[in-house]
Amino acid sequence: MNGPTPPPPGTPVPGSQTDVSVGDDVRLRRWRLLLGEAGTPDASLRLTDEQRAMDAALAALYDVPPGEGGGGSGAGRSAGLGGSAPRVARWLGDIRTYFPSSVVEVMQRDAVDRLGLRRLLLEPELLAAVQPDVGLVSTLVSLQRQMPETTRATARHVVAQVVAEIERRIATATRSAVTGALRGERTHRPRPRDIDWHATIRANLRHWLPEHRTIVPHRLVGRSRSTSTVARDVVLAVDQSGSMAESVVYSAVFGAVLASMRALRTSLVVFDTSVVDLTDRISDPVDLLFGTQLGGGTDINRAVTYCQGLVTRPADTLFVLISDLYEGGAREGLLRRVASMQASGVQVVVLLALSDSGAPAYDRETAADLAALGVPAFACTPDAFPDLLAVALARGDVGAWVDRHRAVVAVGTAR
């Protein structure tokens, strides 16, 4: 790897701050691993056995020009992963041994992008060695039509691992937020388990009996329950174009969690230039993901038209459109549809992305036109989505929530 000459002894490694407890030789070895052999002219510098193994794993990926070393085409240099699945599997094992999981995920993504390893991901032996993450799930879902039957079961197992981890991360917060947003109106005839004791005490302070040091509650305060009926309809429309892959994964898991709640009737629709209603698969996010087809064009107006047909109770419906807003269909028709849904009483939310990596490139003109209709378009992380759901289901001010959320993120970034 070519790079600048290492700094003189005493210069801190990038991102580490100056640490006087780290010797000069340690710093130089770190720079050696960072820059590669070509960037370190000091021939006297010696790496430990472990550091040499780390260096070899890095060189196999980053000492090869993008596009070479993965598919058997292109000569490459002495480093590289080659076209052999066993060799790639050994490399995957090495990076999991020598690097933390966050670094492993980055290196795996780089290997797919730089070295053309998509074809090798179709081999079950290789998939078994890969560390699962959301990016890998997106890749497997996009490759599903090309998978041989022997690989499909392994791929589903990998996807299931990631889906289960996401569900553990978001399920409790989502159910809690939705339950809080939909809890019943206050009642003065609550069942014992529904009594709000703090509110009841405040409402009965006048009935304090000092001689008995107690309050006699003449009036109970609590909340009625309506879990046996569907309180809200939720319609999720998810753009399955290539840039929205991570959002599709998270939408599938959120859809499954919402569908498990009796107070909600949840529908999930994916679209590109065609529209596919996957509501019948919503209870199984793995099966749902394998029902999508990532990539292709986009006809958002067509998708919104279909979703509008699913609305039977406008005042009790939340419609969430997840798209980068690059409209390949009728843009003016899309805006008219959204305005029509709003006018009928539907709560409309537009997300540019539902992912950890933030908003991709998106159509700013369409986003501005939606904002003019009173529908802000913004990116949302999976961790923030339950809170957004609570506001939207309670028919709160989503625009104000967006402003507060952005302010919190800005403060956190500044720190």
3-state helix/strand/coil string of the chain: CCCCCCCCCCCCCCCCCCCCCCCHHHHHHHHHHHHCHHHCCCCCCCCCHHHHHHHHHHHHHHCCCCCCCCCCCCCCCCCCCCCCHHHHHHHHHHHHHHCCHHHHHHHHHHHHHHHCCCHHHHCHHHHCCCCCCHHHHHHHHHHHHHCCHHHHHHHHHHHHHHHHHHHHHHHHHHHHHHHHHHCCCEECCCCHHHECHHHHHHHCHHHEECCCCEECCCCCCEECCCCCCCCEEEEEEEECCHHHHHHHHHHHHHHHHHHCCCCEEEEEEEECCCEEECHHHCCCHHHHHCCCCCCCCCCHHHHHHHHHHHCCCHHHEEEEEECCCCCCCCHHHHHHHHHHHHHHCCEEEEEEEECCCCCCCCCHHHHHHHHHCCCCEEEECCCCHHHHHHHHHCCCCHHHHHHHHHHHHHHHHHC
Say yes or no to pLDDT of 290 above 80: yes
pLDDT of residue 257: 97
pLDDT at 85: 55
pTM score above 0.85: no
pLDDT in tens, 162-219: 999 999 999 999 999 998 888 754 555 677 777 778 778 888 888 888 888 888 887 7
Q: Residues 302-339: pLDDT tens digits?
A: 999 999 999 999 999 999 999 999 998 889 999 999 99
For Cα atoms 33, 39, 45, give the angle at the middle one, nearest 5 degrees: 60
Calpha distance 334→304 (Å, rounded): 7
Task: Report d(CA 55, CA 58) in Å as an integer.
Answer: 5
Q: What is the pLDDT of residue 409?
A: 64
Q: Give the mean model confidence (pLDDT) for residues 25-40.
A: 71
End-to-end CA distance of the chain: 34
Taking only the tens place, the pLDDT of each residue in 265-278 is 999 999 999 999 99
Provide the pLDDT confidence category of residue 83 given band limits of 50, 70 and 90. Answer: low
Strand partners, 275: 271
Q: How confident is the model at residue 397 (pLDDT cuts 50, 70, 90)?
A: very high
Contact 258, 177 (CB under 8 A): no
Burial class (CB in 10 A: 0-12, 13-18, 19+), 138: buried
The pLDDT, as a whole number, for residue 231 is: 86
Least confident of 64-78, 101-115, 173-187, 203-217: 64-78
Res 9: pLDDT: 43
57 or 187: whose pLDDT is higher? 57
User: Residue 244: how many CB atoms within 10 A of its CB?
Assistant: 27
Q: How confident is the model at residue 14 (pLDDT cuts 50, 70, 90)?
A: very low
Percent of the chain residues topping a pLDDT of 70: 79
Mean pLDDT, the chain, whole residue set: 81
Enumerate domains of the chain plus CATH numbers. 24-150 (no CATH), 185-223 (no CATH), 232-414 (3.40.50.410)
Question: Which of the four pLDDT bands, split at 50, 70 and 90, describes residue 414?
Answer: low
Pairing of strands 186-187, 264-271: unpaired
